Amino acid sequence: MKNTFGQSVSVTLFGESHGPAIGAVIDGLAPGIPVDEENIRRMMQLRQPGGAISTARKEADVVEFLSGVLNGRTTGTPIALIIKNGDTHSADYQQMQSLMRPGHADYPAMCKYHGFQDTRGGGHFSGRITAALTAAGAICMTALSGRGILLGTHIARCAGINDRPFDDLPADLRALETASFPVLNGDAGEKMKQAILAAREDGDSVGGILETAVLGMPAGVGEPWFDTLESTLSHILFSVPGIKGVEFGDGFALSDKRGSEANDPLRYLDGRVVTETNHGGGIGGGISNGMPILFRSAVKPTPSIAKAQKTVDIKNQQDVELRIRGRHDPAIVHRARIVIDAVTAIALCDALCMRFGTDYLAPQDTETL
Amino acid sequence: MKNTFGQSVSVTLFGESHGPAIGAVIDGLAPGIPVDEENIRRMMQLRQPGGAISTARKEADVVEFLSGVLNGRTTGTPIALIIKNGDTHSADYQQMQSLMRPGHADYPAMCKYHGFQDTRGGGHFSGRITAALTAAGAICMTALSGRGILLGTHIARCAGINDRPFDDLPADLRALETASFPVLNGDAGEKMKQAILAAREDGDSVGGILETAVLGMPAGVGEPWFDTLESTLSHILFSVPGIKGVEFGDGFALSDKRGSEANDPLRYLDGRVVTETNHGGGIGGGISNGMPILFRSAVKPTPSIAKAQKTVDIKNQQDVELRIRGRHDPAIVHRARIVIDAVTAIALCDALCMRFGTDYLAPQDTETL
Amino acid sequence: MKNTFGQSVSVTLFGESHGPAIGAVIDGLAPGIPVDEENIRRMMQLRQPGGAISTARKEADVVEFLSGVLNGRTTGTPIALIIKNGDTHSADYQQMQSLMRPGHADYPAMCKYHGFQDTRGGGHFSGRITAALTAAGAICMTALSGRGILLGTHIARCAGINDRPFDDLPADLRALETASFPVLNGDAGEKMKQAILAAREDGDSVGGILETAVLGMPAGVGEPWFDTLESTLSHILFSVPGIKGVEFGDGFALSDKRGSEANDPLRYLDGRVVTETNHGGGIGGGISNGMPILFRSAVKPTPSIAKAQKTVDIKNQQDVELRIRGRHDPAIVHRARIVIDAVTAIALCDALCMRFGTDYLAPQDTETL
Amino acid sequence: MKNTFGQSVSVTLFGESHGPAIGAVIDGLAPGIPVDEENIRRMMQLRQPGGAISTARKEADVVEFLSGVLNGRTTGTPIALIIKNGDTHSADYQQMQSLMRPGHADYPAMCKYHGFQDTRGGGHFSGRITAALTAAGAICMTALSGRGILLGTHIARCAGINDRPFDDLPADLRALETASFPVLNGDAGEKMKQAILAAREDGDSVGGILETAVLGMPAGVGEPWFDTLESTLSHILFSVPGIKGVEFGDGFALSDKRGSEANDPLRYLDGRVVTETNHGGGIGGGISNGMPILFRSAVKPTPSIAKAQKTVDIKNQQDVELRIRGRHDPAIVHRARIVIDAVTAIALCDALCMRFGTDYLAPQDTETL
């Protein structure tokens, strides 16, 4: 289904970085869900560049609804939202249309689209498209919260510096909601920022690891084969630009453990079944078990760097040296986290509605006809 | 689509460990593709338990075709294959239907199926179902090889011991084809086996990391958003039981690198564009770039262990101690690798046919009407 | 998705007329639904040939479950069912593999499968495959009846003779359940049978129109665009062999009416909104309105006739005259009706579960965990 | 997939009649396809109301591309197009939000959306949405014509008056291209118009039958079960508002014929296999056979009429008499035909690309990298 994700709740993305607008169509959300403009603004702002550690490009990122929202609530029909583009410096890019930027989609895109693609600003591959994705996810976040499902992401590691792990989840998630640099340990955060600035000084960039927690996910969601919850989540996570690894629970670390260390013992707590540990990240056999869902996403360093790089000029068919000009992020890990939140919310809304029906996300106080 | 994967080439899985048969339906393969029974047998054998490091369960694992194959070739209509079950010791399991085995799907399955599921031998969640998946993948492997696409998987790490990395890919892949314990460095392999046996002595189990390489993948396959090649591959990889992490190229290690280290410089080689390094694992912007595709899958330790474990008895609603009897694998990483090959082949066949049409996998020497 | 129908509840068909077995995989049905073997037998028998007006081929048509059914109930995992083939006279067919039978799929199939397809007995295109489809539909019928949704089909017209229209729907549907020649007016039925026998005498065949009614469908199911209830139903109806037309409510007759005659006035009846007439067939704007769903399917005359026909020999690339030997039906309209029931049940189960979740079809008396 | 159609080439519709804009996202079209603005304009105009036989609402219907089109060609990434709304008389509708208009989607929509839907001007159910659908189809028409596939639709019957059947298909299709009232026999067309005006005088409306022909469709497209070409086409046709019947080839008339009359004899013509007649409408066994594809769609009379009608007031829960004010069409059959062309083009593009790959619709003269 190409640029569409989801079966019961689906999101279709469109737009190019320097076109008139980018946007998304969200279909399948129940009618009556509040569209919380404040939450959309919050998430759009957290995605936006700002300060020394981000690109200087200023995007207003105003989300306009063309359909599917009336009187502040979803109508139940497709929600089309657009974000107009502006402040584009196409000249920065035009000169290098035939120079394939290393680490970018330029060359694979050329193979796929044979040169007809819009290359300005990365075109349809631009990280800018995640603004529309974030807006779509923001609506899904509100829908989930109506069911008591909360989620959030912190920078678990950046430039070799570790944040502290999740501890008191409700409090940690609340703290992350408004953090523009989302760490649980402020000192670690400061060190990360220093490292990012140092990389920038060197005309370079850094990556990191994002860790996400979901609270309140009901047990029994996911399919045994192919549409496991891990499959569905990783599917959408790996479509976020720069994500090169995804692990659930203890993930790769599990491969060094023994079964007796990796298995999560079960027990009763206040009449409910829980696990004593959560190495599995809240998913067993591909299905949620009612524990918090935990996963980590590896973000590669931003590919646009000031340093000279070797690449090819496909027009003149020769090897060249490339120096990328323009405005670029020395790190996107702190901005990417809200995109991770957004896509997680989208995937969970879809999985929940496939399981429990469209009305699962309808406001609980709604009188139905 | 629940237990179905794929759009152009699709696989549907069915069966329970102790039911009459397990099987798969493969749809969308071009007519005329040779169904290489020898290759199916090879892959079925590599998946089968054997020796001290595996369970003693003996399965004939004879693949029977009910449809879609005639005169040794695909007909182009759905291929239904079944593998009859036999040698099942249901008594081993029946006693513990109400005891939720830690690390297994028992409890999440109970939440999803409310007790109607077949729990004998793990039912539909049993690793046994991967026999059908492997058979389906074997046919796809042959289809890919008709286009010059080869793939293979080795144990990159097991019980803390590292195999050597891929080096001469064509030679390494050839060597792996028939290896029952798939490592590139024999000494490392011996040490891994010792570690597996040691775990077994302790009534315990180990996990590992599998590394896969794909040679000959054409550039330009994959979608920019949602159906990136990483999304599609991880989707099917995460439905293999025990996989808790997936990373492409350098994956999580990229998150500690700088952009200048992570970007793959491009250059011309014999008129073709190649990258000097392959940190990205052959995928950029979600699309194949013509380089070898490389990824790693984290396998958690086998959850069935002889050691006593804490869990719940959901019938009597109380905490209990569980000792699992029956035959179990101290490691599945060496067997899982052929399942990884199988699902990779399925996902690539689908992606290629979505891009180039059904006939892409048709035998190149076939006269068409 | 080729030979698969459905999103929440899906059916995949496989098999060839003269292969080892035909079958279906039904996925997405809730756990705990009774698998009513009596109903399956009833529907299989109504589909089977019998008497002078049908082919003499005797098929045992015993449905075997390979998975997904335990203790007479669905487990919630994929149900694989097979029906073994037997009593096949392949010799009847083999001689004519290069002679394209008019009105059959032979020539289009040759264009699609380039000669690799199984042509014996029509292969994957054989009406025999509808046995598996009927078995799948039978399970869905039981699932629907658990929600009070009943459906049935009669021969509205055959060989120019009209049955009486539906009148007292509950009584009519009950009467049709066991009717081997499903008409509401016995006299009309006798005349139809005479006409069928007369066609047979002439080495010819007849077609007819099947009319279906669904009682108890809840309002609000279907999508405004693309997945209207009419779209979904027609999609599956047009995959039943021989169906060349589908109309809902008054269908084509509406095109000659005026708006004032075609619109269904609404009114309150015992506190519920009903329509006074049902020209729209229970669907408005693509969505069910709570009235009975009514549609008609045009069945073309059976293409296999004894009369000489002109066609091509694609091997020798010349025009030839063809005389089809073997056993053939002078009419299939009376057998096709149960296939129509089956596919209707499948499509409605899928639409209902997309709307209300998987558990909508779960037995209402089931305690959930 | 709700408001999305297609797998390889897909269209997602959004918008409400009185919202800011309606639109569509078309995904999966090959890069480099010319976006023929002249053809878009032509089709938009043919859909627009005009003259005495249509509503007086004037819509500029300017198609704006937000993405996916550059330098007059498709880029290969999703094409988002919007058409801004204007000239809306919401006041005409607001008074009747609780009065369910007979023949409209009002009541089923209320059951589905529980009152949160946008009811102004029919909201998402408005025929106005077909403007976006037509624009999407216009691009697909151009893509098909690049492969020599042409299609067109005439009013076969309106208010009881028959047009002449298709005869010389290439000439007939050419003539229809620019006809604002699409008939092949001008006299029949005049009589139809008189009948439409007469209905209008009576405060009433008429329906009709649209007949479509597709020339140049290659053989071998479509699937044997579920995704037959008839299934796919009827799926999208039944999502056009007002369509209540679809038949292929001779359709319902076949049900009165004998096999010897209904079967299409095959023969060689200039080395190609053709059928002497085309009762099957170019489709056999669900698969195209290379002959022209022919089908007919039944259009019900426009539901908005000036005459008084009985209905319910769901706010006050009582039976009422309704008089619809505002601007309405006494017939839409002449406008609906271009929507039929559009959806046919969309469905064929998808079926062709599923079969032959995305590049099938790429411009044949394009140099690929």
Task: Identify the structural domains of chain C with CATH numbers, from first to last.
Answer: 4-361 (3.60.150.10)
Pairwise CA distance, residues D189 & D53, whole Å: 12
CA distance C38 to chain D (A): 27
Cβ <8 Å between A263 and B102: yes
Instruction: Kindly give the residue spans of alpha helices, DSSP state H, lying in B258-320.
Output: 259-262
- A-contacting residues of B 150-169, CB under 8 Å? 157-160
Q: What percent of chain A has pLDDT over 90?
A: 88
Cβ <8 Å between D111 and A369: yes
CB contact, 8 Å: C115 with chain D? no
pLDDT at position C366 is 58
CB contact, 8 Å: D356 with chain B? yes
> Which of B277-291, C91-105, D111-125, D348-362 is the least confident region?
C91-105
Pairwise CA distance, residues B103 & B87, whole Å: 24
Q: Which residues of C touch D252 (CB under 8 A)?
A: 209, 244-245, 247, 252, 298
pLDDT at C54 over 60: yes
Pairwise CA distance, residues B241 & B329, whole Å: 14
Give the distance from CA C192 to its chain's centroid: 20
Q: Which residues of B touch C76 (CB under 8 A)?
A: 112-114, 116-117
Work out the average pLDDT over B114-124.
Answer: 93
pLDDT at A93 over 80: no
Cβ <8 Å between C355 and A354: no
Secondary structure (3-state) at C11: strand
Q: Which residues of B touch A317 (CB under 8 A)?
A: 268, 271
CA distance C132 to chain D (A): 12
Pairwise CA distance, residues A26 & B224, whole Å: 18
| pTM, to two decimals | 0.96
Pairwise CA distance, residues C169 & A234, whole Å: 50
Residue count of chain A, please give it: 369
CA distance A116 to chain B (A): 13
> What are the structure tokens assigned to C193, written together?
């049978």
Residues 6+ away with beta carbon under 8 Å from A214: A149, A150, A151, A282, A292, A293, A294, A344, A348
Cβ <8 Å between D257 and C301: yes
Secondary structure (3-state) at C297: strand
Place of tokens 């010791």: B89
Averaged pLDDT score across all residues of chain C: 93
Pairwise CA distance, residues C191 & C209, whole Å: 15
pLDDT at B96 over 70: no
pLDDT at position A38 is 95
Work out the average pLDDT over C16-35.
Answer: 97
Place of tokens 């027990």: A267
- C-contacting residues of A 207-236, CB under 8 Å? 224
pLDDT per residue as tens digits for the range C199-248: 999 999 999 999 999 999 999 999 999 999 999 999 999 999 999 999 99
Phi-psi region of D263 (alpha: psi -120 to 50; beta: other; left: phi over 0): beta
Averaged pLDDT score across all residues of chain A: 93
Work out the average pLDDT over D60-75.
Answer: 94
CB contact, 8 Å: B107 with chain C? no
Cβ <8 Å between B14 and C67: yes
The closest of A164, A88, A160 to A128, measured between CA atoms, is A88
pLDDT at D91 over 60: no
The closest of A70, A75, A64 to A21, measured between CA atoms, is A64
User: Contact partners of B by the rule of 3+ C-beta pairs under 8 A?
Assistant: A, C, D
Work out the average pLDDT over A167-175.
Answer: 97
Which chain B residue has its CA at the smallest distance from D352's CA? B357
Residue pair B260/A204 in contact by the 8 Å Cβ criterion? yes
Residue pair D118/D85 in contact by the 8 Å Cβ criterion? no
CA distance C217 to chain B (A): 24
> Which element (helix H / strand E) includes A82?
strand A79-84
> What are the structure tokens assigned to C201, written together?
């005498």
Cβ <8 Å between C259 and D208: no
Q: Which residues of B touch D77 (CB under 8 A)?
A: 224
pLDDT per residue as tens digits for the range A227-280: 999 999 999 999 999 999 999 999 999 999 999 999 999 999 999 999 999 999
Cβ <8 Å between B110 and C369: yes
CA distance B153 to chain A (A): 16
Cβ <8 Å between C1 and B15: no
3-state secondary structure chain D: CCCEECCCCEEEEECCCCCCEEEEEEECCCCCCECCHHHHHHHHHHHCCCCCCCCCCCCCCCEEEEECEECCEECCCCEEEEEECCCCCHHHHHCCCCECCCCCCHHHHHHHHCCCCCCHHHHHHCHHHHHHHHHHHHHHHHHHHCCCCEEEEEEEEECCEECCCCCCHHHHHHHHCCCCCCCCCHHHHHHHHHHHHHHHHCCCCECEEEEEEEECCCCCCCCCCCCCHHHHHHHHHCCCCCEEEEEECCHHHHHHCEHHHHCCCEEEECCEEEECCCCCCCEECCEECCCCEEEEEEECCCCCCCCCEEEEECCCCEEEEECCCCCCCCCCHHHHHHHHHHHHHHHHHHHHHHHHCHHHHCCCCCCCC
Work out the average pLDDT over A44-63.
Answer: 74
Q: What percent of chain B has pLDDT over 70?
A: 92
Cβ <8 Å between C359 and A359: no
Say if residue D157 is exposed, middle or buried (CB neighbours under 10 Å; 0-12, 13-18, 19+).
buried
Q: What confidence category does residue B1 fall into, taking pLDDT thresholds of 50, 70 and 90? A: low
Residue pair B259/A303 in contact by the 8 Å Cβ criterion? yes
- D156, HSE (Cβ side, Cα atoms, 13 Å): 19
Which chain B residue has its CA at the smallest distance from C21's CA? B66
Nearest Cβ partner for D129 among C225, C247, C261? C225
pLDDT at position A369 is 44
pLDDT at position B89 is 56
pLDDT at D57 over 60: no
Q: What confidence category does residue C326 fall into, taking pLDDT thresholds of 50, 70 and 90? A: confident
Q: Which residues of A touch C8 (CB under 8 A)?
A: 8, 354
Work out the average pLDDT over D300-327.
Answer: 93
CA distance D218 to chain C (A): 9
Nearest Cβ partner for B305 among A1, A219, A259? A259
CB contact, 8 Å: D307 with chain C? yes
Cβ <8 Å between C234 and D238: yes
Residue pair B158/B206 in contact by the 8 Å Cβ criterion? yes
* Interface size between C and D, measured as CB pairs under 8 A: 386
Residue pair A76/D112 in contact by the 8 Å Cβ criterion? yes
Cβ <8 Å between A230 and B249: no
pLDDT at position B59 is 54
pLDDT at B53 over 70: no
Q: What confidence category does residue B90 fall into, taking pLDDT thresholds of 50, 70 and 90? A: low
pLDDT at position B49 is 78
- Rg over alpha carbons for chain C, rounded to the nearest Å, is 21
Q: What confidence category does residue D58 fall into, taking pLDDT thresholds of 50, 70 and 90? A: low
Cβ <8 Å between A15 and D82: no
Give me the interface pTM, i.e. the ipTM: 0.96
- B-contacting residues of A 250-269, CB under 8 Å? 250-252, 254-268
Q: Which residue has the higher pLDDT, C343 or A2?
A: C343
pLDDT at position D228 is 97
Q: Which residues of C touch A356 (CB under 8 A)?
A: 357-359
pLDDT at B97 over 90: no
Cβ <8 Å between D67 and A16: yes
CB contact, 8 Å: B287 with chain C? no
Nearest Cβ partner for C355 among A224, A355, A357? A357
pLDDT at position D364 is 79
Secondary structure (3-state) at C284: strand
Which chain A residue has its CA at the smallest distance from C272's CA? A369
Pairwise CA distance, residues B230 & B234, whole Å: 6
Q: What confidence category does residue B369 fall into, taking pLDDT thresholds of 50, 70 and 90? A: very low
> Which of A169-183, B318-332, C282-296 is the least confident region?
B318-332
CA distance D298 to chain C (A): 5
pLDDT at position B367 is 53
pLDDT per residue as tens digits for the range A282-333: 999 999 999 999 999 999 999 999 999 999 999 999 999 999 887 678 999 9
Q: Which residues of B touch A246 (CB under 8 A)?
A: 234, 245-247
Q: What percent of chain C has pLDDT over 70?
A: 92
DSSP-assigned letter for residue A206: B
pLDDT at D112 over 50: yes
Residue pair B103/A259 in contact by the 8 Å Cβ criterion? yes
Please count the other Cβ atoms lying within 10 Å of the Cβ belonging to residue C128.
Answer: 24
CB contact, 8 Å: D77 with chain A? yes
pLDDT at C92 over 70: no
Residues 6+ away with beta carbon under 8 Å from A209: A155, A156, A157, A158, A296, A297, A298, A299, B252, B255
DSSP β-ladder status, A283-284 and A287-288: antiparallel
Q: What confidence category does residue D153 fall into, taking pLDDT thresholds of 50, 70 and 90? A: very high
pLDDT at D297 over 90: yes
CA distance B34 to chain A (A): 26
Best of A22, A35, A116 to mutate (most D CBs within 10 Å, chain D): A116
Cβ <8 Å between D111 and C254: no
Residue pair B278/B290 in contact by the 8 Å Cβ criterion? no
Q: At what angle do helices A37-47 and A333-356 cross, to 10 degrees?
A: 140
Q: What confidence category does residue D97 fall into, taking pLDDT thresholds of 50, 70 and 90? A: confident
- Rg over alpha carbons for chain B, rounded to the nearest Å, is 21
pLDDT per residue as tens digits for the range D31-53: 999 999 999 999 999 998 765 56
pLDDT per residue as tens digits for the range A100-145: 999 999 999 999 999 999 999 999 999 999 999 999 999 999 999 9
CA distance A368 to chain C (A): 11
pLDDT at D172 over 90: yes
Pairwise CA distance, residues A281 & D356, whole Å: 42
CB contact, 8 Å: D184 with chain C? no
Pairwise CA distance, residues A297 & D342, whole Å: 43
Q: Which residues of B touch A314 (CB under 8 A)?
A: 273
Q: What percent of chain D has pLDDT over 70?
A: 92
CA distance A71 to chain D (A): 9
The closest of A333, A95, A71, A289 to A195, measured between CA atoms, is A333
Q: What confidence category does residue C369 fall into, taking pLDDT thresholds of 50, 70 and 90? A: very low
Which chain A residue has its CA at the smallest distance from C220's CA? A369
